[in-house]
Amino acid sequence: MAVIRDVIPQLELFQPTSADDALALLAAHQSDAWVYAGGLDTLDWFKDRVKRPRVVVDLGGVESLREIRSTADGIEIGAMARLTDVINNPDVRSQFPALAYAAKSAASPQIRNQGTIGGNVSQDTRCWYYRDGWTCYRAGGNICYASPPTAMNREHCILGASRCVAVNPSDTAPMFVALEAEMVVRRGSAERVVAAEDYFVGPEIDIERMTVLEPGDLLTSIRVPSKWAGARVYFEKVRDRDTWDFPLVNVVAAIRENGSTIEDARVVVNGVAPTPVRLTAVENAIRGQARNEQTAEQAGNIAIQGVSPLTHNGFKVNLMKNLVKRSIRDEPMGV
């Protein structure tokens, strides 16, 4: 199909300077409104003319949403904080160095200087059929172009597919799930707090959304509790290119040890399913075990139970297995 590139459709732009003003605009325009944060994902949609909102609410002037602050129980990160801000924040680096490392693993320095933490966790999937304007399930159609044997599906699901086989592409999303973070969502004057694990929506729930956010909703901040501060938290990402690329698979393992014994653990993978996947069977298997090669091997084998690769992404199975194994066995990497 012919796609007109690099010409943004006509729209009405609003640039509020407070969260309340932004929420009032979202309430007034509902599904006609598009939230603009760092703009990295947004401008691709607009230039390709796939998304054509009537109204864009630019949050760039809402300084209150950029704040990163320590709390009595951890850290609260404003949704408009840039990835670079998260990487360099001294409280993040001291309490949750793996979060800084995950943020640093996203994209390139130029993109991290503009992209926001809220945008990174809430970004849409990168499936090229969907993003090029094909009328697939996620776009409101009645077919998945990536699932047939002849399709291009190298980067797609090996877990959790339900009609749509597109994956969640975020590097920080699995980290927040592992750290038991909470997403603060406002709608008008009302506020609700959603566990990071429940923030992401699979196609079996709503095939046209990636998160719980609905028209009128605004993610304002992310709260990271102190529960896992100072724990052993491992993050690793495998991608085709070392810079500016989305994960083929990434993994986070948060482990609390007593001597050499694993007392508690949360293990999460992403890039393999429509949402970040918490591997509860792995967690249950390694609790009470020594953190050694044998336990790591067991964890890797359990992690791939039930996988269902597509025609061209079977390599993700062994990749996920070995990443989970390393996340249990190896020492965390630094920022």
**pLDDT for the residue 244:** 84
Task: Give kind and range of the element (H or E) at residue 63.
Answer: none
Helix 315-329 with 293-303: angle, nearest 10 deg: 150
The arrangement of secondary structure in 66-122+168-329, i.e. its CATH architecture, is: 2-Layer Sandwich (3.30)
Instruction: State phi, psi for 48 to the nearest 5 degrees.
Output: -80, -5
> How many CB atoms are closer than 10 A to CB 149?
8
Pairing state between β 74-78 and 218-225: antiparallel
**pLDDT for the residue 70:** 97
Instruction: Please give the torsion angle defined by the CA atoms of residues 222, 227, 230 and 236, in that order, rounded to the nearest 10 degrees.
Output: -60
Paired with 195 in beta bridges are: 182
What residues in the chain have per-residue pLDDT under 70? Answer: 1-6
Are the C-beta atoms of residues 212 and 122 closer than 8 Å to each other? no
Task: Pull the structure tokens for residue 54.
Answer: 């009537």
Compute and round to an integer the Cα radius of gyration of the chain.
20
**pLDDT for the residue 5:** 61
Task: Pull the structure tokens for residue 15.
Answer: 């640039």
Domain ranges of the chain: 11-58, 66-122+168-329
- Cα 273 from Cα 125, distance rounded (Å): 11
Are the C-beta atoms of residues 292 and 329 closer than 8 Å to each other? yes
Instruction: State phi, psi for 296 to the nearest 5 degrees.
Output: -65, -40
Are the C-beta atoms of residues 219 and 266 closer than 8 Å to each other? no
CATH topology of domain 11-58: 3.30.43
Q: Which residue has the tokens 């923030």?
A: 199
> How many CB atoms are closer than 10 A to CB 63?
13
- Cα 163 from Cα 310, distance rounded (Å): 13
Summarised one tens digit per residue, pLDDT across range 111-161 is 999 999 999 999 999 999 999 999 999 999 999 999 999 999 999 999 999
> How many CB atoms are closer than 10 A to CB 330?
12
Task: Give the three-class secondary structure for 34.
Answer: strand
**pLDDT for the residue 310:** 98
**pLDDT for the residue 334:** 83
Task: Give the three-class secondary structure for 82.
Answer: strand
H helix runs in 30-152, sequence order? 40-47, 83-88, 90-95, 97-104, 109-112, 117-122, 128-131
Q: Which residue has the tokens 């566990």?
A: 195
- Cα 50 from Cα 1, distance rounded (Å): 12
- Cα 303 from Cα 145, distance rounded (Å): 27
- Cα 22 from Cα 6, distance rounded (Å): 27
